[in-house]
Chains A and B, each alone.
Chain A
Amino acid sequence: MWQFFHKLGSPKWFFGISTRFMPWLLAGGVILLMAGVVWGLAFAPEDYLQGNSYRIIFIHVPTAFMAQSVYIMMASAALVTLVWRMKLADVFVKAVAPVGLVLTFLALFTGAVWGKPTWGTWWIWDARLTSMLILMFLYGGVIALDRAINDEKSAARAVAVLVLVGVVNIPIIKYSVEWWNTLHQPATFKLTEKPSMPAEMWVPLLLSVLGLYLIFGWLACVRMQTEILSREQRTRWVREFVMKGRV
């Protein structure tokens, strides 16, 4: 267990192991996401109230779900950065912050597109939407702070503090639906209850969430590898990798 923990801290080890499982992440992600989205868009039954316009849920919910869970992953990694000073953790935070920003933007954008036929407006200052917007600002702040500090180590630790402070916002996002309870419908998936939609709807939705998870994993690996290569460019293994094309 401890040996694994120590290995996890080594960028070289991560580089080697991630190259091996990245194709599986990508393949699994693409298959699941395609299955979920095609099933959802083409074969799932129509909603009796919203008609076909509800189908954007198969894009909207995965991105919104990922946007929030990426932040929580970042916060966990930030904690690891501060407590154990593990190099890989701050590589992760730096690598996924822009991905999270894009996912949040996509969630807001698809939400706006969905809101137009359903609520009759692109944007409403509902608590949940506003919280998502705040989440996007938080991602922006993390990226801006990271870019502003030149020294890599202090940048990583300062960003970790900021991410942990921002994570206070996540429960507010989660519970705002229940607190204010305005236009936005409550969360589709709850761990403790059966989904309120029929299986033909929630199964493809679950597939696309899982697919997006895997694709995110692949993307995180790609970005982390790039970051590792640029940070470790003076080490021998990177030079050998560049010469021979493998670790």
Chain B
Amino acid sequence: MNAEARPVVRLAGNSVGALAAMKGVFVRDMKVAFRQRQDLLNPLLFFVMVVTLFPLGVSPEVSFLREAGAGILWVAALLSVLLSLDHLFRHDFDDGTLEQLVLQPQPLFLLILAKTLVHWMLTGLPLVILTPVLGVMMHLDGNSIGILCLTLLIGTPVLSLIGAIGAALTLGLRSAGVLLSLLIIPLYIPVLIFGTGTVAAAAEGATVGAYLALLGAFLVLALTLAPFAAAAALKISLSNG
């Protein structure tokens, strides 16, 4: 990777407040991401391709797709978030930016929160935006698509946040990609259950408030705890090398 593509972090010094430091990381990560546009597209292409495999591999019947569509879209979204997690810290780890971040006087968990936010905005959010198109291709009705988008909107940040822990733990290891999936998929399962459960409940005409509230609870829990765990894991991984 050429050096110009990776701006340096400019947030050194005690004078910079925690929020300003977060903003600095956010802007810098956005810049880096938009200079590598193909990396932004890859998870989305993966998402579309995985979804395509199901009608081809299982059945193109409308009845099947209507029933399984929400689940397929959720699983595909989960997998493409998982695939993109490797990028979350990898490049910064390779060129030493990450060590500088750890050395900042501002709390590391806030900086990680900013990085995770960028990650979600560039993978989770585009997946949510893409979902209605794929939902129509899976013959889901309008109401289901709306609910599905809503669950993905609440659920994908949880995926990014939990994933940040796994990415931090497996940083610099040999078979990091596979290991990351092994560690993280079990933790994703409750989110998946409630995400697809919401759509199923909506399809049966039940109220979805309770499901959405639980998903929201997951988000709040992940938002409060995951950055701390990821920061701890990151420090351990950096002291490793």
Contact = CB atoms under 8 A, between A and B. Distances in A.
A137 B179 contact: no
A137 B185 contact: yes
A210 interface: no
Interface residues on B, range: 20 to 34
B38 interface: no
Contacts of A134: 186, 189
Interface stretch (B70-78, B143-151, B231-239): B231-239
Contact of B173 (A138, A148, A161, A172): A148
B190 A145 contact: no
A31 B21 CA distance: 62
Q: Is the interface of A mostly helix, strand, loop or mixed?
A: helix
Given A145-B169, A145-B179, A148-B174, A161 B236 contact: yes
Nearest to B232: A161
Interface residues of A, number: 23
A148 B190 CA distance: 26
Contacts of B239: 154
B175 interface: yes
Contacts of B169: 145, 158, 161-162
Interface string A189-226: 00000000000000000000000000000000000000
B186 A149 contact: no
B181 to A, nearest CB: 10
B232 A166 contact: no
Interface string B193-233: 00000000000000000000000000001000100010011
A169 B170 CA distance: 20
A149 B233 CA distance: 13
Contact of A158 (B175, B189, B237): B237
Contacts of A26: none
A145 B182 CA distance: 9
The 8 nearest A-B residue pairs measured at CB: A137-B186, A154-B240, A141-B183, A157-B236, A134-B186, A161-B233, A158-B236, A148-B173
13 contacts: A138-B186, A144-B179, A148-B170, A148-B173, A151-B240, A154-B240, A157-B236, A158-B237, A161-B165, A161-B229, A161-B233, A162-B169, A168-B221
